[in-house]
Chains A and B, each alone.
Chain A
Amino acid sequence: MSKTRTEGRDDTEFSISRILKERGVSRRDFLKFCSTMTAALALPPSFAPSVARALDEVKRPTLVWLEFQGCTGDSEALLRAANPTVGEIVLDILSVDYHETIMAAAGHQAEAALDKAITEHKGKYIAVIEGSIPMKDGGVYGCVGGKSNLARAREVCGNAAATIAIGTCASYGGIPAAAPNPTGAVGVKEAVPGATVINLPGCPCNADNLTATIVHYLVFNKIPALDGHGRPLFAYGKRIHDNCERRPHFDAGQYVEAWGDDGHRRGYCLYKMGCKGPATFHNCPTQRYNEKTAWPIGSGHPCVGCAEPQFWDVMSPMYGRLPNVPGFGIEHTADAIGLGLAAGAAGAFVVHGALNAMRKDKEPGEDTKED
């Protein structure tokens, strides 16, 4: 830990829980937060005390947040983090030394704050990247302070302890990378291959998954287990379809046929309306959004597959049915599948097996790595 300029003390000597206490957060709220985090990390409840213990011992790391070809949606998601009081403070006590949307400084003073953070805490800070990185034409499609996004990404991600690519753009290129990809946009891992990158796709990412990832890193001092697409298993380990509250209706062959029809009002399956839940790995059904208020399928709109690489191209058109969506790569017609399903759950299982077998990707967990 480097010493910081202070009048009184070096607060990196203090643990997170102590700082929380100083900021008026009760022990009870802190433990409640640890339970929430334990659930978000998909750990059994018995882990809550060890999460609390680990946070008791953690020092205050630096975090820098850079936005490139983004829309600020992931920053906005951060502002909605689910456990407001404590969640906010946890982000606060991380010492967020650079975040253009919220920081008070501007211009060269802002850039100086970034330079200072990545120099003083070299190899120790966490970088969060929002938005894709344009590679074409020498990087002219994205510049901040006269520097190209690519040059900044190499500098910042290359010297970070870990980089979190937040949202689908930073993870895989996202919408700027959709065909014909006018700017040569790519995700962080492709732009800076040497960096240790955790992908948190979603459009935007669910803030709960961000806080859980950071806590995981602080608690276990290593990045979480990732699937073949670089996503933490605790948040992206299961298909939306397999955890969906409407799954019984799928198994029973009960579908929404038109917006606002009887089935739509009763919460029937949205598969025929274009739902991409069967091909999407994300914890939306269990985590939901905005303090577990709601999520797209629950509110009557199909899943669009936003946590999957290149979903913009391979999962569209949005209202087109799997598996006829280009890129899904199955020859069955949706109607044939639909008919098979109406026969009952057994048929459904056969179809699911078929869907799984046809997925181009490996099952998550087969290809994880930990640095």
Chain B
Amino acid sequence: MTKIVVDPITRIEGHLRVEAEVSGGKISNAWVSGTMFRGIEKILKDRDPRDAWYWTQRFCGVCTTVHSIASIRAVEDALKIPVPPNAQLIRNIIIAIQNTQDHVIHFYHLHALDWVDITSALKADPVKTAQLAASLSEWPNNSATHFKAVQEKLKAFVASGRLGPFANAYWGHPAYKLPPEANLMATAHYLEALEWQKDIIKIHAILGSKNPHPQTFLVGGMSIPIDPDSQNALNADKLIEVKRLLAKAQEFVEKVYIPDLLAIASFYKEWAGIGAGVGNYMCYPEFPDAAGNNWLPGGAILNRDLSKVVALDQKKITEHVEHSWYQDAGSDGKGLHPYEGSTEPNYTGPNPPYQYLDTDKKYSWVKAPRYEEKPMEVGPLARVLVAYASGHKETKGAVDLVLGKLNVPPEALFSTLGRTGARGVDCLVIARQAPKWLDELIGNIAKGDLRIHSNEKWDPATWPAEAHGYGWHEAPRGGLGHWIKIKDQKILNYQAVVPSTWNASPRDAKGQAGPYEAALLGTPVADPEKPLEILRTIHSFDPCLACAVHVLDATGREMVRVKAS
């Protein structure tokens, strides 16, 4: 038995540590730990609920819109504030492009180097690379000249002897299987994706003022005014720019990302049998229309049974802290619902610098959320499975296409490779749908509907003395929920249960492992000094640890806040 520690897990958001035991070349036990804590929910107490979107947005700068969305939905739910159709559509477009950009960045910049050996690209023949690329896609940049130029750049970089961010990696590891031409093609697209993401995310600047951390969200709507006759508002000029960028986003997904995904996956089909995880999947409904109906369905799939989608009940969500660095709230092994949760940070781990965590006891800043006391996987895979099992037309078409190209059954989705493939499917269906919401918005404006905000409950004096509500949002990384209690116009209690909290969960009172931990079991490790395989499975979830680590405090000291006029 060998014990491996990987800390930091790089190419993720935030700070994640994995400790694993390897026996007979496979992982026999694993623990994951979030190693950074800020306590933002605690900081939120007593503040203005209308500000919460801005504060919670800072949970994460990668998921830069998702907490804003969940937060304004929670406050709107608590105070029963309707949202005008245009604001809903603008939110949908913002959500969609966040999803598209996030998934492409994840694939190329955070995940690809687990499968793509950049050093092997130096040996590729650019002409053959162009032939390979042409057999996969009509992307106009896939020329031998372009691939040669990329290779020349790469050669100059390597010859300099200073590899910067590419130094000390696992290059040449026996688990890398792509031919040099596929490696060169992927490397070229890695660089192109870096350019592309900057461009398409300007949609957030146009509708949201900037990115990261767009700033036009409002409880009750959006703060970006609409007026075809004003230069200070959303007008035809800006809408047509959004349209162009949405088309550009969709084209890249269709002609670069998906073909690359399929090509790379075809060399790694054994990973369709590795990294399954807990086998329970959950997602929230998303993309509401003016009537409140959602374009994507929510629900849960239990024990990998695709024949049945279970309807969700938010009351069945609880969080455990038996293995997390918080004081137990006397729940006797039962988790607490987000409305009731009350926990205090209580670090009992080793003092830094340390070699190992005490994994028998408390070992993470991440709590352990459970649905009906079961660990659940959330994310694109859950979203795609629930949509597929619910008969969602667009998703089913895309899933069948991908499974058909790879010649694998639906069960292949329950794996590391399936998780990475499902992210592509999710990206494709949403990127194709986004232009329809823009057309709808343009149609509304043409009819003279310029409303972006419901003003009647903006003034806190109109609120009841006490209110509570929750907001669900299906973020790129999965199901996100914010729960809020409001008392005397201030936040009494705020709790976020975040996608990576579900996925990076430590063990619970019953000793049930969380999704990352379960997915690592049985993963082969060829060289314990270079655990590339651990990165493959962990990265397939697209971890976001700053999001994952939260605590609220319902009993914290009172803070004096001056009420603004």
Task: Name A256-315 residues within 8 Å CB distance of B.
Answer: 258-260, 264-267, 274, 288-291, 293-296, 298-301, 304, 312
Complex CA–CA separation, A174 to B421 (angstroms): 38
Interface locus among B35-43, B136-144, B368-376: B35-43
What is the minimal beta-carbon distance from B82 to any residue of chain A, in angstroms?
A: 14
What is the minimal beta-carbon distance from B76 to any residue of chain A, in angstroms?
A: 14
What is the minimal beta-carbon distance from A332 to any residue of chain B, in angstroms?
A: 11
What is the minimal beta-carbon distance from A234 to any residue of chain B, in angstroms?
A: 20
Tell me whether B73 is interfacial, beta carbon within 8 Å: no
Chain B residues near A113 (CB-CB < 8 A):
167-168
Chain A residues near B169 (CB-CB < 8 A):
103-105, 109
What is the minimal beta-carbon distance from A82 to any residue of chain B, in angstroms?
A: 9
Task: Name B90-128 residues within 8 Å CB distance of A.
Answer: 105, 109-110, 113, 118
Tell me whether B226 is interfacial, beta carbon within 8 Å: yes
Residue of B nearest to A113 (CB): B168
Chain A residues near B232 (CB-CB < 8 A):
265-267, 298, 300
Chain B residues near A301 (CB-CB < 8 A):
209, 215-216, 218, 223-224
Apart from A103-B165, A266-B232, list 13 A-B contacts with CB within 8 A: A84-B195, A96-B165, A103-B166, A104-B113, A176-B38, A183-B37, A203-B213, A258-B455, A259-B225, A289-B210, A298-B232, A304-B54, A321-B564
Chain A residues near B225 (CB-CB < 8 A):
259-260, 264-265, 300
Tell me whether B266 is interfacial, beta carbon within 8 Å: no
Tell me whether B231 is interfacial, beta carbon within 8 Å: yes
Tell me whether A146 is interfacial, beta carbon within 8 Å: yes
Task: Sort A-B residue pairs by CB-CB distance and give the 9 closest, nearest first.
Answer: A73-B61, A320-B564, A267-B232, A6-B161, A104-B169, A299-B209, A289-B210, A182-B39, A259-B453
Complex CA–CA separation, A319 to B166 (angstroms): 45
Chain B residues near A183 (CB-CB < 8 A):
37-39, 345
Q: Is the CB of A138 within 8 A of B198?
A: no
Interface residues on A, range: 35 or more
Which of B6, B105, B564 contacts A324, CB < 8 Å?
A: B564
Tell me whether B306 is interfacial, beta carbon within 8 Å: no
Q: Is the CB of A260 within 8 A of B345?
A: no
Q: Is the CB of B458 within 8 A of A180?
A: no
Tell me whether A15 is interfacial, beta carbon within 8 Å: no
Q: Is the CB of B198 within 8 A of A294?
A: no
What is the minimal beta-carbon distance from A108 to any residue of chain B, in angstroms?
A: 8
**A324-B562 in contact given A183-B39, A299-B215, A304-B54 (Cβ < 8 Å):** yes
Query: Could you count the A-B residue pairs with CB atoms below 8 Å apart for me: how many are there?
Result: 343
Chain A residues with a Cβ under 8 A of chain B: 4-11, 22-24, 60, 67-77, 79-81, 84-85, 88, 92, 95-97, 99-113, 134, 137-148, 151, 174-176, 178-183, 185, 203-204, 258-260, 264-267, 274, 288-291, 293-296, 298-301, 304, 312, 316-321, 324-326, 333-335
Complex CA–CA separation, A60 to B161 (angstroms): 12
What is the minimal beta-carbon distance from B129 to any residue of chain A, in angstroms?
A: 18
Q: Is the CB of A300 within 8 A of B224?
A: yes
What is the minimal beta-carbon distance from A30 to any residue of chain B, in angstroms?
A: 16
Q: Is the CB of B224 within 8 A of A299?
A: yes
Contact residues of B: prevailing secondary structure: loop
Listed A/B pairs (8) with beta-carbon separation below 8 Å: A7-B161, A76-B211, A105-B169, A144-B7, A176-B40, A180-B559, A182-B39, A258-B455
Q: Is the CB of B218 within 8 A of A259?
A: yes
Contact residues of A: prevailing secondary structure: loop
Residue of A nearest to B197 (CB): A79
B55-66 vs A, CB cutoff 8 Å, 1 = contact: the mask equals 100111110100
Task: Name B147-175 residues within 8 Å CB distance of A.
Answer: 149, 152-153, 156, 159-162, 164-171
Complex CA–CA separation, A142 to B158 (angstroms): 34
Complex CA–CA separation, A23 to B347 (angstroms): 49
Of listed A101, A151, A267, residue having the most chain B CB within 10 A:
A101
**A326-B561 in contact given A11-B161, A259-B223 (Cβ < 8 Å):** yes
Chain B residues near A312 (CB-CB < 8 A):
43, 55
Complex CA–CA separation, A79 to B450 (angstroms): 34
Chain B residues near A71 (CB-CB < 8 A):
13, 58-62, 546
